[in-house]
Amino acid sequence: MNRVYNFAPGPSTLPLPVLERAAAEMTDTNGTGQSVMEMSHRSKDFKPIIEKTETLLRSLMGIPANYKVLFLQGGASLQFAMVPLNLAGVNVGEARKKAAYIDTGVWSSKAFAEAGKYVEARIAASSKDKAYSYIPAAPAPAVDDAYYHITLNNTIVGTKWASVPDTGSVPLVADISSCILSEPLDVSRFGVLYAGAQKNLGPAGTTVVIIRDELIGKAPEWVPAMLRYDIHEKEDSMYNTPPCYGIYIIGLVLEWLQNLGGVPAIYELNKQKAALFYSYLESSKLFSSPIDKNFRSLMNIPFVASGASPDKQAELEARFVKEAADASLVNLAGHRLVGGMRASLYNAMPIDGVKALIAFMDAFEKKSI
């Protein structure tokens, strides 16, 4: 079997032991004589699967007892609407509530735009002035803000918050899709955390929401049932059929992570991987990082061929991506909105993959300059 090194930003690489176990259990999961894809979500066979997944997530993240864990659908993008609807929704005729957003890239901008349909959202700070290459200082929330929203890791531009802002009594909401479980995180600092699964958790199709008890049940009656946290919490994430297979795979990934030593262990490995790659970029005459050193992501590392002449740079970068793919280093093209290249080094990317990429880049540089 020839496995490639997959540097995609999502859906992304999964741990090989997880894929192999899922393959072995495809037609007979846990001795039930059936696949998870065939199980009733309300059956005695599936209940232990979702309960184990939640228990593992709570343990690995240190989720306090006064927080609920929800397994939903719609991706992190649906949370762009669910957050304002549930935390700051109002009835027709009532004054709209306020919310603060820190604009650090495409996804935070989309979250802000969606929230503006339901609340009086404002950009409290932005790094757009420098192509989102840094994280701006976070001003204190207004006393009448219903919540304060950040994107903890910015998948497209490759920045991360160096520290969590203190928002006092105003609930802090964070999109952690591309950094969940990659390093320790104090859940108690947040009112709501949400993440699409397709980066560090499992396959696309499942969204994890972690929400403090006191923030549940605030949505006005007109909000559709499928968009209400209280409905999903009351029904234990089974108001409708949940993404059963995705939840099962998440459980296997969490078990894999636990066996590695949990979040502290993977954090050390992630720091090693990122340090190797950033160190190479610092020494390279062809490639460089466009991101402020103080805010560089561990998970998503954009890079450009800045050592090439301006008239040749785009052509050289396209050739690099193609030749890398031919060498089994795939999905290295940068996001269509920013160009260049990007290597996503999620939890499941082995350090050997990073070393292989650096070796290829070094060889490519020597023949291109």
Q: Which positions are catalytic? A: 107, 175, 199
Cα distances (angstroms) measured from residue 188 to each of 26, 210, 218: 37, 10, 20
Q: Residue 88: is it exposed, middle or buried by C-beta count within 10 angstroms (0-12/13-18/19+)?
A: buried
| Tokens 């991360």 found at | 160
Kind and range of the H or E run holding 18:
helix 16-24
| Cα separation, 293 vs 280, whole angstroms | 14
Q: Which two tokens stand for residue 230?
A: 């209280």
Residue in 271, 267, 237, 235 with CA at minimum distance from that of residue 60: 267
Say if CB 111 and CB 84 are below 8 A apart: no
Query: What would the DSSP string read from start to end of 180-211?
Result: TTSS---GGG-SEEEEESTTTTSSTT-EEEEE
Structure tokens at 177: 């899709």
